[in-house]
Structure 1
Amino acid sequence: MSAHCIMILAHRAPKLFKRLGARLAPDFAVIAHVDASADRDAFATEDITLLPRSHRIRWGSYAMIAAALDLLRHGLTLEGTETFTLISGDTYPICSPQRLKEILDLRIDCIDSDLVAPASETAQRIVNTYLPDTRIGELRPGMHFLHRHLDEDLTELVAEAERSRLARPAFLKDYRYAKGAQWWSLTRATAEKILGLVAEDPRLVEAMRFSAIPDEAFFQTAIAKLDLHETIRPSLVLAKWDTVPAPYTFEKVDDIVFLKDQKRPLARKFGDASDDLVARIEEELW
């Protein structure tokens, strides 16, 4: 078994997903969560183990954390695994798999994270209470108002959110809220500590479940609570945010000019229309 587990959150671009699996499988244990909204059969490949349970991941929702925790728990059961790297299905290596393995062999926690000032606007994501996994609490517009109404299930969830709201001040006295990118690589020791914290203190899941954009804060806040914040290094995943829409999708063959100067070993976003660029990356950067 490989010492390194690559964990993929897949929701689109099945052709790219399968190509990624074929390239990584010889050197890594590769597992994936397929979004409940996607055609699962389109992602089936012998190179990647698909988790049996699927979550419907909406923008800014806790479901992404639930899926990541499922992947992490499964990855820890694989014999010999020592690092766990979470990426999106639209991510691709911009260095050779062998070079990626050398980087992971360093056994360093790599995650973008900044401690958030309690009085800042960003802190309102956790100070306030949200319902991001529901139709009435969608953080991104797009749903008609006729669908934004309470039913029996939502009413029960609102009651849970209210309990979380009342408990939030005590939680924030014990935790330093931190945020960063969703994509990270963690050592076994850190992964086990995070899952231990989740098991020992249910307040972490409860507070994040009813916060805004928890996928940028859950693991960062856990790491801060575990006093590991000073030992982490930047994420291994590059994204280009200076475009509209953002992040930029790498599809043009000429994008290799930008990518070849980057230091991080992984980049996103790519898609099924990125075939020619991906082939060029494998030819010139690997």
Structure 2
Amino acid sequence: MTGNTLVTVTFILLCHDSAERVITLVRQLLEDDPDCRILVHLDKKSPKETFHKLVSVLDDEPRCHLMRNRVRCGWGQWGLVEAPLRALRYAFDQEVVPDYFYLISEYCRPVRPLRDLREFLTVHQGMDFIECKTSEWIKGGIREDRYLYRHYLDKRKYPKLHRWMYRTQKRLGLKRREPHAYEIYFGSQWWCLSSSTAKKTLCAIVKDPKLRFFKTVWIPDECFFQTIVRLVSRKNVSGYSLTYSCFDNCGQAGRVEGKNLPCGFYFSRKHYL
């Protein structure tokens, strides 16, 4: 299999913390895959100094674009969906569109050569690698109430007020109707989607205003893409992610150590050798 026959990949990199960590990861990806492109989205809440540092370094990388059209990304908030959506819209406005989009964060690290990833995607071209599970996937906390009630606030920033608003809605019987046009699916935030499916996802948002429903869902990054991709690409959904994560009993991603990971993964979250 020659390099010319392999699919191309654009990585969408979500970050908020360390400019140095992001720069190191970007350079690693660009070096390991000479054909990849990277779209970097820095949380708009991050310090200006972090953004300026990224600008000073990444603007000199021709295959990397640091997004200016940024959004605030509170944990469990719509911004974590809006950020990759903006990256996808930017990508489709360019002359060259990749075969695949792979969503990662600054805490993700490749655990296999990126050529292995491209060879795998070439063999399975057209498949979408994203978890699409029922609410049983959720390990801790509320399940269906994530979307049956409106959640406006960042729970980590306003924990008491967030809890009060949720309980008040339940007490007053303000439950929303379950959507009848589609079933809600859940899964890991980190996905690898074909260009075709990514395009269909963007089109679905434009065609169906009811999808605004997700803007007040609790932790929409674990159900929005999972639900829409299942809707627009049902036959091509693999049902699993190519990024390995280790979750605790509360559903929080924990530190992953060592080189011996289960087979079938190409990236790992919070990975340390």
Same fold (TM over 0.5): yes
Q: 2:44 aligns with which of 36, 54, 59?
A: 36
Partner letter of residue 35 of structure 1?
A: D
56-65 or 24-33, larger mean C-alpha shift: 24-33
Q: Give the drift of 1:233.
A: 3.8
1:41-66 per-position Cα deviation (integer Å, ceiling 9, x unaligned): 23332332111112111110001111
- Backbone CA RMSD of aligned residues: 3.0
Mapped to 2, the partners of 1:227 and 1:264 lie a distance apart of 22
Q: Give the drift of 1:144.
A: 8.2
TM-score between both structures, scaled by the size of structure 1: 0.74
CA contact under 8 A between 1:223 and 1:229: conserved in structure 2?
Answer: no
Q: Report the counterpart of residue 103 of structure 2 in structure 1.
A: 86
SS in 2 for 1:173: coil
SS in 1 for 2:14: strand
Q: 1:186 aligns with which of 182, 185, 193?
A: 193
Q: Give the drift of 1:98.
A: 1.5
Cα 1:239–1:231 shift into 2, 3 Å: closer
Mapped to 1, the partners of 2:97 and 2:253 lie a distance apart of 35
Q: 1:238 aligns with which of 226, 232, 244?
A: 244
Q: Report the counterpart of residue 158 of structure 1 in structure 2.
A: none
Cα 1:218–1:144 shift into 2, 3 Å: closer
Q: Report the counterpart of residue 74 of structure 1 in structure 2.
A: 90
> Which runs of no fewer than 5 residues in structure 2 stay unpaired?
164-173
1:148-169 per-position Cα deviation (integer Å, ceiling 9, x unaligned): 9xxxxxxxxxxxxxxxx78x52
Identity %: 24
Q: 1:258 aligns with which of 260, 264, 267?
A: 260
Mapped to 2, the partners of 1:198 and 1:208 lie a distance apart of 11
Q: Report the counterpart of residue 161 of structure 1 in structure 2.
A: none
1:217 aligns with 2:223: yes
Q: Give the drift of 1:141.
A: 5.4
Q: Report the counterpart of residue 171 of structure 2 in structure 1.
A: none
Q: Report the counterpart of residue 52 of structure 1 in structure 2.
A: 68
SS in 2 for 1:125: helix
Cα 1:127–1:192 shift into 2, 3 Å: same
93-102 or 43-52, larger mean C-alpha shift: 43-52
Q: Report the counterpart of residue 167 of structure 2 in structure 1.
A: none
230-239 or 27-36, larger mean C-alpha shift: 230-239
Q: Report the counterpart of residue 104 of structure 1 in structure 2.
A: 121
Q: Give the drift of 1:69.
A: 0.3
Q: Report the counterpart of residue 269 of structure 1 in structure 2.
A: 270
Mapped to 2, the partners of 1:221 and 1:244 lie a distance apart of 22
Mapped to 2, the partners of 1:121 and 1:202 lie a distance apart of 26
1:237-271 per-position Cα deviation (integer Å, ceiling 9, x unaligned): 11112489942234xxxx33434x5430000115x
Cα 1:35–1:212 shift into 2, 3 Å: same
Mapped to 2, the partners of 1:245 and 1:138 lie a distance apart of 17
Mapped to 1, the partners of 2:159 and 2:133 lie a distance apart of 32
Mapped to 1, the partners of 2:97 and 2:84 lie a distance apart of 20
Pairing 1:101-250 to 2, within 5 Å after superposition: 101-105=118-122, 106-107=124-125, 108-116=127-135, 122-131=143-152, 137-140=153-156, 168-169=176-177, 172-204=179-211, 206-226=212-232, 228=234, 231-242=237-248, 246-250=252-256
Mapped to 2, the partners of 1:139 and 1:230 lie a distance apart of 35
SS in 1 for 2:258: helix
> Which runs of no fewer than 5 residues in structure 1 stay unpaired?
132-136, 149-164, 278-286
1:6 aligns with 2:23: no
SS in 2 for 1:7: strand
CA contact under 8 A between 1:27 and 1:98: conserved in structure 2?
Answer: no
Cα 1:245–1:185 shift into 2, 3 Å: closer
Partner letter of residue 126 of structure 1?
A: Y
Cα 1:231–1:248 shift into 2, 3 Å: closer
Q: Give the drift of 1:12.
A: 1.7
Partner letter of residue 184 of structure 1?
A: W
